[in-house]
Amino acid sequence: MTSRTPRRPSPFTGKEREPRLVTALGIPIPLLLVALLVAGLLGAQLAGALERATTSTSDSASTSVDSLSGGGKNSAGVPVITETTLGTEVQRLIDTGTIQPLTSFDAAQCLREQGIPDSILIMEEVAWGGEESPSWLLVHGPMDRETLRANGGTVSATVVLPSCGTSGDDVPSQENRLWSGDVMIGPL
């Protein structure tokens, strides 16, 4: 014979009460399990989205700068660079070793105007930023290009307007400088 615990009638309705669900911290266990399952699925989905977002960002940055006719160049064939692609472009310039002729741009005079005593390692005509401002990327430092290619190291990069170096006096000119900073270069 099995004994059954009689249900007590509710003081408000007079009907018998249903058995209570087991709770943890006042939350029914089935509801807690469902919430944990939903949180786990959302976490997995967010992790996958983050992985896809970071993978595609790094691929697009290296592809646009390294490709010869891709999205990294404007209609005139000049590389378009920003602060995020500057390091990749400097590494590519050091690796390829191509030097553009100075044409009408006096890079040495420009560096003197900027108050920079370094010698120019390599330079390239570029389009800067979203506005694609016509500019020059000057890579300069205390070492020569061959040593840098062999050992790697830190070089300075300065992006200037084409009007830099045309004033004729050795006064530092901040108006012509669009960006300046250091870039780590790996060995070739």
Residue 79 has a CB neighbour count (10 Å cut-off) of: 20
| Predicted confidence pLDDT, tens digits, the chain (188 residues) | 555 556 666 666 666 666 666 777 888 888 999 999 999 999 999 988 888 877 644 343 333 333 433 347 887 888 888 888 888 888 888 877 666 655 667 888 888 888 888 888 888 889 998 888 889 899 888 888 788 888 888 889 999 988 887 765 554 467 888 888 888 888 76
CA distance 132 to 85: 13
Task: Count Cα atoms within 13 angstroms, Cβ side, for 70.
Answer: 12
Is residue 89 a contact partner of residue 126, using CB atoms and an 8 Å limit? yes
* Domain assignments of the chain as residue spans, ordered by start: 23-66, 80-185
pTM across the whole model: 0.56
Angle in degrees, CA 145, 166, 123, rounded to 5: 20
Is residue 183 a contact partner of residue 154, using CB atoms and an 8 Å limit? yes
